[in-house]
Chain A
Amino acid sequence: MDENQPSSSTDIINNQEVDSEVTWKHPSHLFQRLLALFLMCLIGFGSYFCFDNPGALQDDFIQDMNLTTSQFVYLYSWYSWPNVIMCFIGGFLIDSVFGIRLGTVIYALLVVLGQIVFAAGAYLNTLWVMLLGRLIFGIGGESLAVAQNNYAVLWFKGKELNMVFGFQLSFARVGSTVNFIVMEPLYRYVKQHINIPNYQSLSIVLLVASLTCVLSMLSALLLAWQDKRAERILHRKLSVSTEVVKITDVKHFPNIFWLVTFIIVCYYTSIFPFIALGKVFFEKKYNFSPDAANFINGVIYIISAICAPALGLVIDKTGRNLFWVFLSILGTLGSHMFLAFSFVNPYFAMLTMGLSYSMLASALWPLIALIIPEHQMGTAYGIAQSVENLGLAVVALLTGIIVDADGYYMVELFFCFLLTVALLLTAILWTWDSMTNGILNMSIKQRIQLESNKIPRPEKQNLLHDNDTLNED
């Protein structure tokens, strides 16, 4: 699941501050902005909560619906496949067709609808209906993330934007974590108290989970109302996009952009498919109870929720992105090796993996902003996320097959392999960087020095800066 970067075409031309005293009712008052931030975070909560529903109830899904592991991972791959292209289209539709407010509500509605279809599939014990649900949910969920970021830019650009992105990422992770903690007990409760077949208990639990999506949709509606009001009071107008995002831009992207993209793919494919399969792995290998297994599986998200803003700050203060990327991948590789080759308490490995994952999110994604000119930033991030989604879909399928055929040990080895590839690519990128201008691994001081030597451009000067510190995934 990705948190998209803001669409660069949605900029505020005239965000007039009312310097005179404002009451709490005024859109520029701190209270109003905090309320907007809270609503923005809530918009993503439902989709992140429901995204990992299958992961939290993995063995129940497999047993109640009599699925194989390969069939189970379809529930994730059918989410990922459409987003191989939807990352482009979702943002584009917001910019050019729906507008931000209507777009957000529509996507939030799609998320609710998807989750309900998913629950209906469980009720009917029919896999294809569930997959259809996940497909609809995926289309809504990814575009909702784009919309969420667009709102953030609209309300906070030039103010607390980086912090807002940090909060959004944290809140998304809170959604995932709460899901991992509550779903299993909830399922057991339903099973004990309602006398229906197990797969129908599953559908009830999924339907209850869809309430979080309804909550997100209500937030979208409230925010739309608040935004409309703010637009009216602040006389805010949106610029008409001047940059046309063309697919042909891709041809001109430098090779190192693709290198970064491959690092992204190799890294994230060793994280998300692992989390999707992790619950049963911890149950089987370490004899954890289902609850404990879900908890440790969610540790990565918990750490990310707590540390993402702080680690982002570390990058903001130190720079040296490649060093941090290298360290993060090395940490993750070490964690996976511990999980693969030892029976040592997995908490140590999972804590390291969680920290590395949070650090990598802050260090790796801004590299794209350093490589690609700002007017192509949207396309670049879109491409990176699309390729990542493609990788996730393929690897999710592969890991399911490997678990069924060979076991978790082989899957862990496979993840180690992917991370080693990521580590090698990072070393190559670092070598390339040290042989050229070294911009990717500069300290903040050096970077500021370099920026000050450039002739400042009049337009959208701080857009690059803002994107620089975006936290992705």
Chain B
Amino acid sequence: MIVFKSVLFVAMIFITSSMADRKLHAELNPGCFEPDHCTSVSKLLYIRADGDNDTVHYLFDFTQKPSLVIVTTANNANILVKYNETQSNVTIKFTKAPFYTFASVFNKMYEFDDVNDTALLNNGKHYLTIDFKKYDWNMNLFKININESVEVNISSNLYRAPSITKTGTVSITLKVYGKKDKGSKLPHLVHTPESGELTLTLDQLSTKFSSSRFAVELLTLSSFPFNKSEKLVAEQFSDDKSSSGTFVTYLMDTKGEEDEEGGGYLSWRPVVYKAANTHALNSSSTAQYTIQDYNSQDNEIDWISTPLYKLYGNELFKNSYLLKATNVSFGEPADGYYAKSNYLYWTFLVGVGAPPSSSLGFLEMSIIASLLLMLTITMILLFCIFMRWMSSKRNSIIYGQ
């Protein structure tokens, strides 16, 4: 097994090094000359991933609603942030017009009383809405492994709403990698240099109901105005490679007419884990819901609390962008609700371009190849046995034996 693993490891190095890699560069509040002022009006973690043909910019903003904006531009484009007096006046521009923008926003979290243990958000008896912007986000970890990965963790245990008391820690981790590889923790999602891996962790969160479960509402923006609805496609693979026991991958992909691709996507496996260092069986499921439009006037206030407003201003609401929302709830029937573990984490991928596909690994290919080889030899041997049997039959007919 160790030999197999090391062969696999060598093969992975070979495969990944042959992929198009990107050089990573990361900084907090880019272009800021007055750190004290900047941090008071902006919490923007900027990652730049330079490739041969283009640059992917990751804007992880947690000033209000934690959001990841992925912008693709030409190679030499730079980000320009103006740190004006107030939070709402901060603007973000690029020196060259972006090719494409895709974003995902942590908008709201719902706590629902799942009295019938169906683990479905719409069956909840009571609801509590928690707005992500009312959390006071702080950065705990900012780790750069040169040209390999950037890891950022933000968390908050302070919820600023007069009528709601919510103790416990909510944290979000972003990981961006320079190469195609799989994540280090379960469910080991396969990521590309054009995607960011976001993990939401709910640790020791106080619950309002006896049968509390949680759900999140994610907003997505796509700058490709297809005028068609964004699709949520659940792809089912016959393998649970790397994510032991989870056989399905959900892909929420922006697609135009005739399944035209090229936009952004969210991708996740319908699984949440109930402990930090865990194994496959200490898990529960997620439930997915339909995608809704999120472009009415009532919704504008939510978009204003995101970096997208800093990027586009009021242009955001002029129907030139695809604004959508979707919910994902955590838990499955009979898993003991959130309170059983008082901990869960859910990982998903936000990316642009082609979603990472499940490709044949080296070990898998070797097994299938050796399997086919052995089956071929078996067939040849069977053929020989059959021919011998035929000739002995013939002999017995001719010689009467």
In the complex, the answer to whether A417 meets B241 with C-beta atoms within 8 Å is no
Interface string of B285-303 (1 = CB under 8 A from A): 0000000000000000000
- The answer to whether the Cβ of B371 comes within 8 Å of any Cβ in the partner chain is yes
Closest residue of chain B to A416, judged by CB?
A: B371
Q: In the complex, A401 Cα to B244 Cα: how many Å?
A: 11
Q: How many A-B residue pairs have CB under 8 A?
A: 96
Give the contacts of B200-256 with A (CB-CB under 8 A): 236, 238-247
> A340, A406, A430 — which one has the most chain B CB atoms within 10 A of its CB?
A406
- The answer to whether the Cβ of A222 comes within 8 Å of any Cβ in the partner chain is no
CB-defined contacts of B371 to chain A, threshold 8 Å: 416-417, 420
In the complex, the answer to whether A59 meets B241 with C-beta atoms within 8 Å is no
- The answer to whether the Cβ of A172 comes within 8 Å of any Cβ in the partner chain is no
- The answer to whether the Cβ of A231 comes within 8 Å of any Cβ in the partner chain is no
CB-defined contacts of B382 to chain A, threshold 8 Å: 427, 430
Give the contacts of B1-15 with A (CB-CB under 8 A): 1
CB-defined contacts of B247 to chain A, threshold 8 Å: 284-285, 343, 409
**Interface residue from B1, B368, B378 paired with A423 (Cβ < 8 Å):** B378
Q: In the complex, A62 Cα to B245 Cα: how many Å?
A: 14
- A423-B374, A424-B374 known; A341 vs B238 contact (CB < 8 Å): yes
In the complex, the answer to whether B241 meets A284 with C-beta atoms within 8 Å is no
Q: In the complex, A409 Cα to B367 Cα: how many Å?
A: 12
- The answer to whether the Cβ of B381 comes within 8 Å of any Cβ in the partner chain is yes
CB-defined contacts of B378 to chain A, threshold 8 Å: 420, 423-424, 427
Q: In the complex, A332 Cα to B385 Cα: how many Å?
A: 22
CB-defined contacts of A297 to chain B, threshold 8 Å: none
- The answer to whether the Cβ of A398 comes within 8 Å of any Cβ in the partner chain is yes
How far is the CB of B367 from the nearest CB of chain A, in Å? Answer: 5
- A410-B364, A427-B382 known; A401 vs B238 contact (CB < 8 Å): no
- The answer to whether the Cβ of A160 comes within 8 Å of any Cβ in the partner chain is no
- The answer to whether the Cβ of B384 comes within 8 Å of any Cβ in the partner chain is yes
In the complex, the answer to whether A409 meets B385 with C-beta atoms within 8 Å is no
In the complex, the answer to whether A63 meets B281 with C-beta atoms within 8 Å is yes
How far is the CB of B132 from the nearest CB of chain A, in Å? Answer: 32
Closest residue of chain A to B243, judged by CB?
A: A407
Interface string of A391-421 (1 = CB under 8 A from B): 0000000100111111111100110110011
How far is the CB of A1 from the nearest CB of chain B, in Å? Answer: 25
Give the contacts of B370-385 with A (CB-CB under 8 A): 370-371, 374-375, 377-378, 381-382, 384-385
How far is the CB of A433 from the nearest CB of chain B, in Å? Answer: 9
In the complex, the answer to whether B245 meets A284 with C-beta atoms within 8 Å is yes
How far is the CB of A336 from the nearest CB of chain B, in Å? Answer: 11
- A343-B238, A409-B241, A417-B370 known; A68 vs B279 contact (CB < 8 Å): yes
Give the contacts of A40-84 with B (CB-CB under 8 A): 59, 62-63, 68-69
CB-defined contacts of A424 to chain B, threshold 8 Å: 374-375, 377-378, 381
Question: Interface residues of B, CB < 8 Å — how many?
Answer: 32
Q: In the complex, A341 Cα to B70 Cα: how many Å?
A: 35
**Interface residue from B280, B370, B381, B389 paired with A403 (Cβ < 8 Å):** B280
How far is the CB of A23 from the nearest CB of chain B, in Å? Answer: 56
Interface string of A88-118 (1 = CB under 8 A from B): 0000000000000000000000000000000
Interface string of B359-401 (1 = CB under 8 A from A): 0000110011011001101100110110011000000000000
How far is the CB of B25 from the nearest CB of chain A, in Å? Answer: 33
Closest residue of chain B to A72, judged by CB?
A: B281
CB-defined contacts of A407 to chain B, threshold 8 Å: 239-245, 280
**Interface residue from A284, A410, A416, A431 paired with B385 (Cβ < 8 Å):** A431
CB-defined contacts of A435 to chain B, threshold 8 Å: 388
**Interface residue from B240, B363, B377 paired with A284 (Cβ < 8 Å):** B240
- The answer to whether the Cβ of A248 comes within 8 Å of any Cβ in the partner chain is no
In the complex, the answer to whether B244 meets A406 with C-beta atoms within 8 Å is yes
How far is the CB of B33 from the nearest CB of chain A, in Å? Answer: 49
In the complex, the answer to whether A408 meets B244 with C-beta atoms within 8 Å is yes
How far is the CB of B240 from the nearest CB of chain A, in Å? Answer: 4
- The answer to whether the Cβ of A126 comes within 8 Å of any Cβ in the partner chain is no
Closest residue of chain A to B379, judged by CB?
A: A427
> A285, A407, A423, A424 — which one has the most chain B CB atoms within 10 A of its CB?
A407
In the complex, the answer to whether B240 meets A69 with C-beta atoms within 8 Å is no
CB-defined contacts of B375 to chain A, threshold 8 Å: 420, 423-424
CB-defined contacts of B370 to chain A, threshold 8 Å: 417, 420
- The answer to whether the Cβ of A434 comes within 8 Å of any Cβ in the partner chain is yes
In the complex, the answer to whether A285 meets B240 with C-beta atoms within 8 Å is yes
- The answer to whether the Cβ of B282 comes within 8 Å of any Cβ in the partner chain is yes
In the complex, the answer to whether A413 meets B368 with C-beta atoms within 8 Å is yes
Q: In the complex, A428 Cα to B374 Cα: how many Å?
A: 11
CB-defined contacts of B241 to chain A, threshold 8 Å: 406-407, 409-410
Give the contacts of A341-399 with B (CB-CB under 8 A): 341-343, 398
- The answer to whether the Cβ of A300 comes within 8 Å of any Cβ in the partner chain is no
Q: In the complex, A305 Cα to B246 Cα: how many Å?
A: 33
Q: In the complex, A118 Cα to B1 Cα: how many Å?
A: 30
In the complex, the answer to whether A421 meets B374 with C-beta atoms within 8 Å is yes
Q: In the complex, A144 Cα to B385 Cα: how many Å?
A: 42
How far is the CB of B299 from the nearest CB of chain A, in Å? Answer: 35
CB-defined contacts of A421 to chain B, threshold 8 Å: 374
Closest residue of chain B to A289, judged by CB?
A: B334
How far is the CB of A287 from the nearest CB of chain B, in Å? Answer: 9
In the complex, the answer to whether A404 meets B240 with C-beta atoms within 8 Å is no
How far is the CB of A54 from the nearest CB of chain B, in Å? Answer: 14
In the complex, the answer to whether A69 meets B389 with C-beta atoms within 8 Å is no
How far is the CB of A277 from the nearest CB of chain B, in Å? Answer: 11
**Interface residue from B239, B279, B381 paired with A404 (Cβ < 8 Å):** B279
In the complex, the answer to whether A413 meets B364 with C-beta atoms within 8 Å is yes
**Interface residue from B1, B367, B381 paired with A428 (Cβ < 8 Å):** B381
In the complex, the answer to whether B244 meets A414 with C-beta atoms within 8 Å is no
- The answer to whether the Cβ of A280 comes within 8 Å of any Cβ in the partner chain is yes
How far is the CB of A219 from the nearest CB of chain B, in Å? Answer: 37
In the complex, the answer to whether B244 meets A434 with C-beta atoms within 8 Å is no
- 8 A-B residue pairs with CB within 8 Å: A340-B238, A404-B244, A405-B244, A407-B243, A407-B244, A408-B245, A409-B247, A420-B378
The interface of chain B, by Cβ under 8 A from chain A, is 1, 236, 238-247, 279-282, 363-364, 367-368, 370-371, 374-375, 377-378, 381-382, 384-385, 388-389
Q: Please give me the 10 A-B residue pairs with the lowest Cβ-Cβ distance, nearest first.
A: A409-B239, A407-B240, A427-B381, A284-B245, A407-B244, A427-B378, A424-B374, A420-B374, A420-B371, A62-B281
Beyond A62-B279, A280-B281, A427-B385, list 6 extra A-B contacts (CB 8 Å): A63-B282, A404-B279, A409-B238, A421-B374, A428-B381, A431-B381
